[in-house]
Structure 1
Amino acid sequence: MPLRYPTETDLPFVSRLLEGETTYRSSRVDNESFILIYCNQENVPVGVVFLAELDAFRKNAALILRIDPGSELSARIRMALEAMEVVFGKLCLHKVSCEITVDDKWSAYLYKKIGFVEEGRLREHQFDGSRYVDVLRLGLFATEWYGVERQLKDYIFGLEVLAEQKDQKKSYSIVVLSDSSSWINFDIQDLCLEWTALGHQVHWAHKTENIPSADFCFCLSFGRIVSSAVRSKFRHTLVVHESELPRGKGWSPLTWQIIEGVNRIPVTLLEAVDQVDSGTVYAQCWIEFQGDELVDDLRKAQAKTTHTLCRWFVDEYPNSAMQGREQRGEESFYPRRRAADSELDPNKTISEQFNLLRVVDNLNYPAFFRHSGGCYRISIEHMESDCK
């Protein structure tokens, strides 16, 4: 389904998809814009690639990717792949940029999936009809694109392989619950996309109100209580928890264990019940850390293992449910982490507090210390090159 130039009959479709875009409204009458149409297998237009502020001298442009809301996410990724091949392969641009609202999780997933990097935030920059919201500015260099192009093609190929398997497997209905601001949401979209490719019906939500009944409900980084009335809508309501249950119930178990100096951490898939983290255990995987990972590295490993456990349960059902075992032993609980838990002691060495530095979130829960009546923030990140 290659991209093609628009015809006169495409103009109403283009206007419908792009009319709400400020960049489109301000650029459509000049010559510094470039539009391509993306069609489905029936050659029906379903998406638009719009390049505005096209600067042939500086070789950069503003990019908008829009596709019909009813289109599958996999189609969006394929359209984005073809768009980048045109942008960097045929137009030979150096950089493209885009702007999205902080609430637009699907666009954020799409742009970051193809390599875009967040470059800044415009505070309360756009009015969404009821309130002013922040806008994120993202950018992608040609060199960055060539670094992810092969990976993205392999990912699309993997989805196509899964789609070929869907007739061989029983399809299920699946609900996924997560907090709207959770770091794991990007990885949840990958999981939902794979399940959809396999023929499952997937509904992703951030609240329990009005969610449909389904075979399974996966609560992934979801901080709210799921009542028995809600759980009754599903055959199984499942939680992923990073501890050797019944020890380590409660909040942020992986974080607390890293602070304690633990580098071999279990990730447990269990049934949600009224008593927190006390349900039947279905499976467990272990993550081995080296001791130098920072929060993004820890989260990447956690997300990968969560993904594996959730896929396993659905792929192997009902055998996966038959492997359940009850928890045994003495239970313990971790408290909820607060911003104050990221406080450093200026009288201790960095080495003594390095495990705390490993788990701090530089943006949301930064490390800080108090000294001489002042309060100071510290950020930590890996260096790109060797220390000299």
Structure 2
Amino acid sequence: MKVTIICSDSIHPVYPYLEQWIKQNIKSHDISIYSSITDIEKGGDILFLISCTEIVKKPIRDMFRYTLVLHASDLPEGRGWSPHIWDVINGKDTLILSLLNAEDGVDTGDIWQKRYISLDGSELYEEINHKVFEAELELMSWACENIDDSKAKKQDTQSSTADYHRKRTPEDSRLSLDNSIEEQFNLLRVCDPKRFPAYIIRNGQRYNIKLEKVNDE
């Protein structure tokens, strides 16, 4: 198969996982990866949109037999931005990853597959990412091997569970001085320590906070 991947940010933590997947599959498929749809010169079989911030319109999608999105929610619930981050903050211990068709309406396409990701409540940012990204690679491989023999299912567009998450901002990593660590533990877990670290502001001074596991010997 001729496979194209769009990942908008080369420093996104998923990027090394995509590079790993390409290395493992390059002998079986013709694979290219770009940071923008403007870099696409030719169509192909599958266009994967992984952490892609661009809206990919129909003329681009029509260059490929399938244009697929990986979205970490139980669609139609949790459309929009960073759904698994919001889920962890809200206390969920199971994340759901959906493989769906890209459409003009964000996260509204037919669904091919879902994967369930269990959390025990102790995982920190990188560990959560690892579980989500490994599931993404699994679904990418599934698509390359099975999509021609499978059928996607339509989303329940009338479902009362359909909702949209807003885009998170650095301010969403701010902790409250008035709330306990226990109350804010899930927020601490999902803050990207490099790009969007947790922080507090006290007497006008900002302090970044890093949560790190320590294994007792």
Same fold (TM over 0.5): yes
The number of residue pairs the alignment matches comes to: 212
Aligned to 2:18: 188
Write the distance in 2 (CA, Å) between the matches of 1:382 and 1:250: 30
In structure 1, list runs of 5 or more residues that go unmatched.
1-171
Give CA-to-partner distance per residue, 1:247-284, whole Å, 9 cap, x none.
10000000000000001011000000000000000000
Task: Give 1:344's match in structure 2, choosing from 171, 175, 192.
Answer: 175
Higher relative CO (Cα under 8 Å, sequence separation at least 6) belongs to 2
Q: 1:122 — aligned with what?
A: none
Matched, 1:178 2:7: yes
Partner of 1:364: 195
Task: Verify: 1:220 aligned to 2:50, yes or no.
Answer: yes
Residue 325 in structure 1 maps to residue 156 in structure 2: no
Shift of 1:374: 2.2
Distance in 1 of aligned mates of 2:129 and 2:163: 23
The structure with the larger Rg is 1
- Residue 140 (structure 2) aligned to one of 303, 310, 313: 310
Provide Cα deviations, 1:218-266, integer angstroms capped at 9, x if missing partner. Answer: 0111111112111111011000011111110000000000000001011
Which residue of 284, 296, 311 corresponds with 2:126? Answer: 296
Using the size of structure 2 for normalisation, the TM-score is 0.94
2:73 to 238, 243, 254: 243
Structure 1 range deviating more: 350-359 or 204-213: 204-213
Matched residues in 2 for 1:378 and 1:226: separation? 37
> Which runs of 5 or more residues in structure 2 are unaligned?
none
1:203 aligns with 2:32: yes
TM-score by length of 1: 0.53
Matches of residues 1-388 of structure 1 in structure 2 within 5 Å?
Answer: 172-179=1-8, 180-198=10-28, 200-211=29-40, 212-320=42-150, 322=151, 324-328=152-156, 329-330=159-160, 331-383=162-214, 385-386=215-216
Aligned-residue sequence identity (percent) comes to: 29
3-state secondary structure, aligned to 1:283: strand
Offset at residue 195 of structure 1 (A): 2.2
Q: Which residue of 2 aligns with 1:87?
A: none
Q: CA RMSD in A?
A: 1.2
Output the CA distance in 1 between the equivalents of 2:197 and 2:209.
7
Q: Give, in whole Å, the separation in 1 of the partners of 2:175 and 2:147.
A: 46
